[in-house]
Amino acid sequence: MTPVAVMVGANRVVAAAGIIHPLGNAELSADDEKALRRRIVAQALEALKTEVARPTVFSSE
Amino acid sequence: MPLRVVCYVNQFFGQLGGEEKAGVGPQVVDGAVGAARAVQQALGDAGTVVATVICGDNYVAEQADRALAEMLKYVRDARPELLVAGPAFLAGRYGVACGALAAAVQAELKIPAVTGMHAENPGVDLYRRQVYIVETGAEATRMLAEVTRLVALALKLVRGEAIGAPATEGYFARGLTRNVEVATIAADRATAMLLDKLAGRSFTSEVPRPAFASVPAPRLLKTLEGATVALVTDGGLVPKGNPDGIEALNATRYGAYSIEGKAGLDAAQYDNPHRGYDTSWVKQDPHRLVPVDVARELEQSGAIGKLHETVYSTVGVATTLAHSARMGAEIAEKLRAAGVDAVILTST
């Protein structure tokens, strides 16, 4: 859904783990799922620190 | 019998003066004054401007209700069959006043009212659904030509003639859908459009996309270690029982839910009315939608200064732009008042 977020003008967009569970994944173990969530939130904090001039997608490498 | 027409103009176009006269209250003058003369000229024999209502822009902007009531009385007393407001061009206060008066005259006096302004006049978005607003330039350099188009549309309205599409008649789309008969079927038209697109020719879509205003990206003014961060979601997190009655789709409401003293969200205490995705997974563990657990850890480790103790939530599916914008503005206002520096909004 990141193209929609960019289209409507959200300035800092982080690609998350999916529509039905943006910050999780039931197929992972509890520990791995939480680690995934930590990575996405960390990415969001990174985005908040970053100056942007236009809608920008921050994707985890 | 020529048509009885009343014009509304501001202090400048009513020849009272410039900004120094913007505080002047409503007055009415017999006949056509200032810019209203252009309306009279465009009307020709079809109508007579019997009165011109003049009011200062600041007076209307600062006490809109009172100014509108006073102007409405002047208009009513002149017993018109048509009101022409403006045109206001790119003058914002004037444009908003033109739209408001035209809408009020239509509603109260049951006569047609038209106005004109530039596309970027704030009056356009506020009133184009209620009144016909003819598109003009930013300045009054082509006044007579533009007033002539405005008057032509107004006369059609008075006579009850069919009004063409916005692009044909030169007014701003009113957001109405009207059935039209066309010679070719949709598949043929779409194919023709695609061919035009591939060949680099211009084409006009039959489904205009909404224009989203660009919002300047704010800069985080503090370090994260000193910042208060809030969590917001449009994914439908609600406490059990959905106390705010947030709609399953087409939402008009949002909720504010405290997470004070909570290290995380207990699935047993939450629910999710969102009907735009399969909510089974986030009901099983609400952190898959709103990461309170991780955010709390970051607060404790000092990576962020503070986690805001209120989570805002709504349902983002088939939600109208107008309600989204309103709810967003209200939530932002509350977050700002609470001293929040940054927001992570999780979306499904």
B217 to chain A: which residues are within 8 Å by CB?
Answer: 11-12, 51-54
Q: What share of chain B is helix, strand, coil (3-state, %, to 5)?
A: 40, 20, 45
Describe the crossing of helices B64-77 and B92-109 by its angle, rounded to 10 degrees.
50
Averaged confidence pLDDT in chain B: 94
Q: Is the pLDDT of residue B208 over 80?
A: no
Number of helices and strands in chain B (H, E): 11, 13
**Is the CB of B288 less than 8 angstroms away from the CB of A22?**
yes
Q: Is the pLDDT of residue B125 over 90?
A: no
Which range is most confident: A7-16, B72-81, B122-131? B72-81
Kindly report the backbone phi and psi dihedral angles of residue B108, in degrees, each rounded to the nearest multiple of 5, phi listed first.
Answer: -90, -40
How many CB atoms lie under 10 A from the CB of residue B245?
11
One-letter amino acid of B182: V
Contacts of B136 (CB under 8 A, 6+ apart): B87, B89, B116, B117, B118, B142, B146, B150
Contacts of B170 (CB under 8 A, 6+ apart): B134, B135, B149, B153
* Three-class DSSP category at B137: coil
**Is the CB of B303 less than 8 angstroms away from the CB of A45?**
yes
| Residue of A34, A22, A36 whose CA lies nearest to B276 | A22
Tell me what pLDDT residue A61 has.
52
d(CA B235, CA B347): 6
Q: Is the pLDDT of residue A51 over 60?
A: yes
Residues in chain B whose Cβ is within 8 Å of chain A? 212-215, 217-220, 224, 229, 235, 277-282, 284-285, 287-291, 293-295, 297-298, 303-304, 342, 344, 346-348
For chain A, the C-alpha Rg in angstroms (whole number) is 12
How many CB atoms lie under 10 A from the CB of residue A19?
14
Under the banding of pLDDT at 50, 70 and 90, the label for residue B245 is: very high
Tell me what pLDDT residue A52 has.
95
- pLDDT tens per residue across span A26-48: 999 999 999 999 999 999 999 99
Among the ranges given (A52-61, B30-39, B236-245), the one the predictor scored with the smallest mean pLDDT: A52-61
**ipTM attached to this prediction:** 0.96
Tokens of A12: 């800092």
Tell me what pLDDT residue B320 has.
80
Is the C-alpha dihedral spanning B277, B283, B288, B289 positive or negative?
positive
B290 to chain A: which residues are within 8 Å by CB?
Answer: 23
Under the banding of pLDDT at 50, 70 and 90, the label for residue B233 is: very high
Q: Are B123 and B117 in contact (CB under 8 A)?
A: yes
Q: Are B147 and B122 in contact (CB under 8 A)?
A: no
Q: What is the arithmetic mean of pLDDT over B56-62?
A: 92
Q: Are B290 and B237 in contact (CB under 8 A)?
A: yes
- pLDDT tens per residue across span B295-311: 999 999 999 999 999 99
Under the banding of pLDDT at 50, 70 and 90, the label for residue B142 is: very high
Tokens of B255: 């909720």
From A1, A21, A45, residue closest to B281, measured CB to CB = A21
List domains and CATH numbers for chain B. 3-169 (3.40.50.2300), 224-346 (no CATH)
Residue count of chain B: 348
pTM summary value: 0.62
Q: What is the DSSP letter of A22?
A: T
Residue count of chain A: 61
d(CA A36, CA A25): 8
Residue B112 or residue B320, greater confidence = B112
Q: What is the arithmetic mean of pLDDT over B130-148?
A: 94
Q: What is the arithmetic mean of pLDDT over B238-253?
A: 96
- Shortest CA distance from A23: residue in chain B: B288
Kindly report the backbone phi and psi dihedral angles of residue B196, in degrees, each rounded to the nearest multiple of 5, phi listed first.
Answer: -60, -45
d(CA B53, CA B243): 51
Tell me what pLDDT residue B213 has.
75
Under the banding of pLDDT at 50, 70 and 90, the label for residue A60 is: low
Q: What is the arithmetic mean of pLDDT over B313-318?
A: 94
Q: Is the pLDDT of residue B212 over 80?
A: no
How many CB atoms lie under 10 A from the CB of residue A8?
14
Q: How close B214 gets to chain A, by Cα (Å)?
A: 6
d(CA A39, CA B343): 17
- pLDDT tens per residue across span B1-20: 789 999 999 999 999 999 89
| Residue of B287, B214, B23 whose CA lies nearest to A52 | B214
Tell me what pLDDT residue A1 has.
75
Under the banding of pLDDT at 50, 70 and 90, the label for residue B321 is: confident
Q: What is the arithmetic mean of pLDDT over B30-40?
A: 97
d(CA B29, CA B292): 65
| Percent of chain B topping pLDDT 70 | 100
